[in-house]
Amino acid sequence: MSTELVPALEWTDLDKQAVDVVRALAMDAVEKAGSGHPGTAMSLAPAAYLLFQRVMRHDPTDPNWLGRDRFVLSCGHSSLTLYIQLYLSGYGLTLDDLKRLRQWDSLTPGHPEHGHTAGVETTTGPLGQGIANAVGMAMAARRERGLFDPDAAPGASPFDHNIWCIVSDGDIEEGISHEASSLAGHQKLGNLVVIYDDNHISIEHDTQIALSEDVSKRYEAYGWHTQVVDWTQTGDYVEDVQALYDALTAARAETDRPSFIRLRTIIGWPAPNKQNTGGVHGSALGEAEVAATKEVLGMDPAKSFDVPAQVLEHARGVASRGRADHAEWEKSYAEWRLANDERAAELDRISRRALPAGWAEALPSFEVGGSVATRKASGEVLSALAPVLPELWGGSADLAGSNNTTMKGEPSFIPEEFQTKDYSGNRYGRTLHFGIREHAMGAILNGIALHGGTRPYGGTFLVFSDYMRPAVRLAALMKLPVTYVWTHDSIGLGEDGPTHQPIEHLWALRAIPGLDVVRPADGNETVYAWKTVLEHTDRPAALALTRQNVPTYEGTSAEGVARGGYVLREASDGLPQVILIATGSEVQIAVDGRELLEAQGIPTRVVSMPCVEWFNGQDSAYKQTVLPSSIRARVAVEAGIALGWHEFVGENGEVVGLEHFGASAPYKTLYEQFGLTAERVAAAAKASLAKLGQDKGETTGN
C-alpha cells in the first residue's frame, strides 16, 4: 500500500451539516419502520462519513471496480451506517429507499445483503462474521497480487488496496473475532484496518456486565498495530474528526501488520435522554426524543427525511473524486495489462469464474477393482488441478494430513519468517493454514470468494462442520462458490469414538437451502464430484469423504454424479423388484446386499446418490428413470440418521442407518455391531417387499 502523505483533512461546515443529516436520517428511518437500530448509526455518523468521503478509494458509479477498497460493516444491525453513506455517495439508493427500511422487497433490509444492494460487499448480521470476511478479503487481495503482479514495488500495483471494517462490542465478544483476528495478525495483513466502535452499550445496556478486558491490548497481543481515539477523554463529548482521520491515515501507512483503532463513542449521541442507553441500541427513539434531538442539532423537528440540496450536492462530490481516482488507476492498470498479456488474460478468465479450455483433462482416474479412501482421492484431484487452475487454493484447520488438502509442491501462504521445516512458503503462497480455527475458516473462505474470482476450499472433519455452520449458511445465502472438504464422514473413522463420528450432520447440512452436500462412493465418483462442484459458480458445496478405503467400482458415471443420483447396478433381468439407494461408503454395503437378494431370486437395482440436491434438481423424467414410482419396495442406506431418506423410500420403504451415537472400535466392528451390513440391507429389502405383499415364503417341511 502507498505510504505517501495525504492532503490535510478539509472538514467544512457542509461536512458537519452532512454528518448531522446522517444522524437525523437514522432516527427518521427507524421511526418510520417502527423497528431498527438507530443509536450506533447516529454515533458512527462522523466515522462512516469520513471513511466514504475522505479515506476510502471507491467509485460510486462502478461498485465492482477491481481496484476499489472494500468496506465491511461487521455490525450489520447498524445497517443504516452503510445505507445512508451509499445514498449520500451516489450508489443508487434513494431517499425513498431509506424510507422503506426493513420493508418487503426494499433495497434496505434489516441487515445488509450482498448481491441485493449495490455497494454492499458482504451479508452481515450474525456478529463476528463480517470481521472474519474482512480478513478473508485481505488474504485474497494478497493472493491475487501474487498471482498477477508479484514483483511490483509496495503501493505501485493496481492490485494494491485496503479493506476497511467497522466492528462493534458484539463482534469483539463473539469467539470468531478472536480466531480471525489472531490469524490476521499472524499473517501480517497490512492491508486490513478495523475500527472498533467502543460505545460500552449492548442490548443488556452497559457492557460492563459482561465485558471488562482491554481490547486494545488483546489486539496488540495478536500482533496488530493499535491506536486509540477517545472522544470522551476531555470529560465532554468532542467528536475530534481530525484525530480519527490521523489514525486512519497512520493505519493505511502501516503495511506490515493489520491495524486496529479503538474509537470511543457515545451511542445515540446527541439524543438528550436516550444517548448512552441500551434503549437507543435497538429501538426507535420515539417521536418526542427525535424532535428533541433535532432541536439539539439545530434542525426543524417538524421535518422528516430532510436533506438540504446543498448537503446532498456536497456529499455527491465523492462520486467525481472517485471517478478521478478510478481513471488514474486505469492508467496503471492499462500499463500492467500491456506488459502482462498472459496474466491479464488469466485475470479476465478468473474474474468471470470461467474454467480454462481442457482443464478436466488433468483430472486423475482410479483403476476399477482397486480401493482408495475418498479423502485420498480428493487430495489427488487437488494436486492434479494445481497447474491448470491457479485460482483454486485452500487448506485445512490443522488437519492437512487427514483432510488431504495440500496440493503437492505448492508453497504455503505465510510470511516468510513463519515458514516451518514441514511447510515452506511465502506471502503469495497457495496452501492455507487456518490453525484450529474452524469457525473463522468458514467466514474467511467467504471473504476470499467475495473479494474476487479465486476459488477457496477449506478442510476439517465432518463432525466439526458444526463449528462452521453459521458461515456455511451465509455462503449459501450469498451463493458463494466455496468448497468444504469434510473428511472422516461417518462411524467409519473408527477408534476416535462418538465425539468424532458424525451421525446427524449430513441431513442437518442438507437442510441448508443452496448448499450441495456431496458424498461420493469411490475414487472416481470423487473426481466427478470435484468436476461438478467446480463447474458450479453460484453456490457452495460440501464434500463428505471417507477415512477408510472403499472399492473402486465399474460403472461409475460422471454424468450420473453430476445429476446427483444414477443406476450403478441394474437388476439382473432389468426389471427390479426392489431399489437400494446409498451414498458414500455405504454404496459398498448396498452392492453386497444386492448380491444376496439376487441370489434369492429378487431382482435388485442399486442407485448411488452422491448428492440429494443435484438429484432433486433434475427433471421428473430423469428421476423416474432412476427411481420409478412403480417400484415401491425401497431401502436407503447411510451411516447416519434416516430423516430425509423417507422422502425417497416412501411409506413402504426402509432405512438402514443410525439413530444413535457411535462408539470407539475398529470401523468394521462398528458397522457389524450397528447393523450396517449387507445382510441387514437384504432383510430390510424383504421387509419392504412384505409391506407390499410381495415377499415370497418358502417351504420348510413338516
Report the catalytic residues.
Answer: 438
Nearest CA to 265 out of 194, 168, 129, 173 is that of 168
* C-alpha span between 635 and 629 (Å, rounded): 14
* DSSP for residue 492: G
Do the beta carbons of residue 75 and residue 167 sit within 8 Å? yes
* C-alpha span between 3 and 478 (Å, rounded): 35
Q: Packing angle between helix 341-351 and helix 129-148, nearest 10 degrees?
A: 150
* C-alpha span between 73 and 333 (Å, rounded): 28
Amino acid at 696: K
* C-alpha span between 69 and 263 (Å, rounded): 21
**H or E element, residue 671:** helix 667-673
Supply 169's cell numbers. 462490542
Using the structure block, give the residue that is written with the C-alpha cell 486494545. 216
DSSP string across 370-390: -EEEHHHHHHHHHHHHTTT-T
* C-alpha span between 459 and 445 (Å, rounded): 11
SS3 637: strand
Q: How far does CA 618 lie from the centroid of its chain?
A: 26
Check residue 393 and give left, alpha or beta (phi > 0: left; psi -120 to 50: alpha): beta
The β-bridge relationship of strands 541-545 and 205-206 is: unpaired
State the SS3 of 594-615: HHHHHHCCCCEEEEECCCHHHH
SS3 169: helix
